[in-house]
Amino acid sequence: MHLSSRARNLLRDADQALRLSARLERPRRQVVNEVVAWCQAHDIELGARLTHARLVLDRELLDRIDEALAALGEPAIAAGLSGLTTAEQAELGNREAKGVREKPRARRVLASLPAVSRPGVACRAHDCLDLDRRDLDLAAFDALVQVENLDSFYGLPDTLPALSPWPRPLVLYRGDSFYGGGFTDLASDWAESGRPHLYLGDFDAKGVSIALERGASHQLLPPLELVAERANVQQLSPKQQRFQAALRQHAARLPEEHPLARYLAILLGEQRGLLQQWFGSADAWVAVPLHPRPTP
């Protein structure tokens, strides 16, 4: 019988509170009853501490629980397992708390970086690498490129002329349930540098909203003339209406001559969008600023 994460949390909170108080009373609710059952299963006598209505926690009881945990090879009450990797949990004892551990991909990002020669592997211009974000020196890059769609990430061309002002881009997949957490943390770190953050994803209400929410400074898009020609109502889902109010507010803050304003006139005014797979040749893409120009 193991103590659940909730029961351990209750005992850890009590451990801290007992530094200021000699005893604590807790009503007989589910998590307290679990502690009671665990103590009884491990021959820890509760005596007068236990009534039908409450359990009294004191330092002596917690010390006895810690002794029993140590005999079982489990972490002490004070050891917090939440947010630790499985390996870090293993250093504290035999207990693996999967429900609260750090997920194996929590710090992973999927990056497209210049390839290196590897025996037995076809050499291409770029390699897609699964990396720990802590192993990346962000100072070595001059722009962050956030790619929304995984198929587009894998299919990126060797060169993107729109990135010529930034010869050392860090190209990352935005992430899903596997890579989303690592990218979010990295993007937050990147934002502190004030360097360009370019978004490559669908030109629809949701896509532009994601770019803005993630703090992107630019969106990679086909030329305005091509978007005006190819955008269509089928590629702007009616389900995305909920994103449009915020986009209209953003559009209202843009100067009339701002490049994004012209794109948003197609998206919001004509209700037409263009999915990334229909952008056409990457040689023609442009980096469209997403925010009003700073006041001189």
SS3 of the chain: the string is CCCCHHHHHHHHHHHHHCCCCCEEEEECCHHHHHHHHHHHHCCCCCHHHECCCEEEEEHHHHHHHHHHHHHCCCCCCCCCCCCCCHHHHHHHCCCCCCCCCCCCCCCEEEEEEECCCECCECCCCEEEEEEEHHHCCHHHCCEEEEECCHHHHHCCCCCCHHHCCCCCEEEEECCCCCCHHHHHHHHHHHHCCCCCEEEECCECHHHHHHHHHCCCCEEEECCHHHHHHHCEHHHCCHHHHHHHHHHHHHHHCCCCCCHHHHHHHHHHHCCCEECHHHCCCHHHCEEEECCCCCCC
pLDDT tier at 79 (50, 70, 90 boundaries)? confident
Closest CA to 244 of 217, 261, 268: 268
User: Per-residue pLDDT averaged across 165-188, rounded?
Assistant: 85
Long-range contacts of 26-31 (CB under 8 A, 24+ apart): 26/54, 26/55, 26/56, 26/57, 27/53, 27/54, 28/52, 28/53, 28/54, 28/55, 31/4, 31/6, 31/7
Query: Distance (Å, rounded) from C-alpha 59 to C-alpha 17?
Result: 10
225 near 219, Cβ under 8 Å?
A: no
Q: pTM of the predicted model, to two decimals?
A: 0.67
pLDDT of residue 295: 38
Q: What are the Cα distances from residue 214, in Å, to 84, 152, 199, 223?
A: 26, 19, 9, 23
pLDDT of residue 46: 95
pLDDT of residue 251: 95
Lowest pLDDT segment from 114-123, 212-221, 233-242, 269-278? 114-123
User: Per-residue pLDDT averaged across 3-28, rounded?
Assistant: 90
Q: What is the pLDDT of residues 228-285, one digit of tens each?
A: 999 999 999 999 999 999 999 999 999 989 999 999 999 999 999 999 999 999 999 9
pLDDT of residue 92: 45
Query: Distance (Å, rounded) from C-alpha 185 to C-alpha 104?
Result: 15
Phi first, then psi: what are they for 4, rounded to 5°? -70, 170
pLDDT tier at 36 (50, 70, 90 boundaries)? very high
Beta bridge partners of 54: 27
Residues contacting 107, CB < 8 A, separation 6+: 132, 133, 134, 181, 182, 185
Query: Percentage of the chain surpassing pLDDT 90?
Result: 62
pLDDT tier at 102 (50, 70, 90 boundaries)? low
pLDDT tier at 120 (50, 70, 90 boundaries)? confident
Query: Distance (Å, rounded) from C-alpha 147 to C-alpha 202?
Result: 10
User: Per-residue pLDDT averaged across 119-127, rounded?
Assistant: 76
201 near 207, Cβ under 8 Å?
A: yes
Closest CA to 29 of 47, 48, 7, 45: 7
Domains of the chain plus CATH, in order, are 5-92 (no CATH), 110-289 (3.40.1360)
